[in-house]
């Protein structure tokens, strides 16, 4: 995911419930899928940030010396200004970029096929 090209809103935005639930025909299921994707995005962003900040890590036993690295500050500011993971997930959902499947429906179809044989 290229975080520089993301166009999700940074502030709170109200969405039409009907648009959110349209792919699943169930608002709770749609929210469940979006929340799972938001957790994945959060994990990806956190890992990426920690990897970048690790580059600046200095291992010093002295607590008196605190080094302020301008690049580290810029990296931190960039990640602070990003949209929240849930906003990114909602944007992906609305753009149709999230693949989901209903395993309960698949199980029901398999059971129907078994009974027809």
What residue spans define the domains of the chain? 15-57+68-96
Q: Which of 2-16, 71-85, 95-109 has the lowest mean pLDDT?
A: 95-109
Q: What number of H helices and E strands is found in the chain?
A: 5, 0
In terms of Cβ atoms closer than 10 Å to its own Cβ (0-12, 13-18, 19+), residue 37 is buried
pLDDT at 18 (0 to 100): 94
Asked whether the beta carbons of 40 and 88 are under 8 A apart, the reply is no
Q: Cα–Cα distance between 78 and 49 in angstroms, integer? A: 10
DSSP 8-state class, residue 110? H
pLDDT at 65 over 60: no
DSSP code at position 22: T
pLDDT band at 47 (very low <50, low <70, confident <90, very high): very high
> pLDDT tens across 79-116, in order?
888 999 999 999 999 999 888 887 776 666 666 666 66
Q: What is the pLDDT of residue 45?
A: 92
């Amino acid at each position: 995911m290229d975080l520089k090209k993301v166009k999700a809103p940074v502030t709170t935005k109200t969405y039409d419930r009907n648009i959110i639930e349209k792919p699943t025909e169930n608002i709770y299921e749609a929210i469940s899928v979006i929340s799972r994707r938001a957790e994945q995005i959060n994990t990806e962003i956190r890992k990426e940030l920690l990897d970048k900040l690790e580059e600046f890590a200095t291992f010093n036993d002295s607590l008196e010396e605190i080094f302020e690295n301008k690049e580290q500050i810029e990296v931190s500011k960039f990640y602070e200004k990003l949209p929240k993971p849930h906003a990114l997930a909602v944007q992906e959902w609305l753009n149709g970029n999230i693949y989901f499947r209903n395993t309960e429906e698949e199980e029901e179809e398999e059971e129907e096929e078994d009974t027809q044989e």
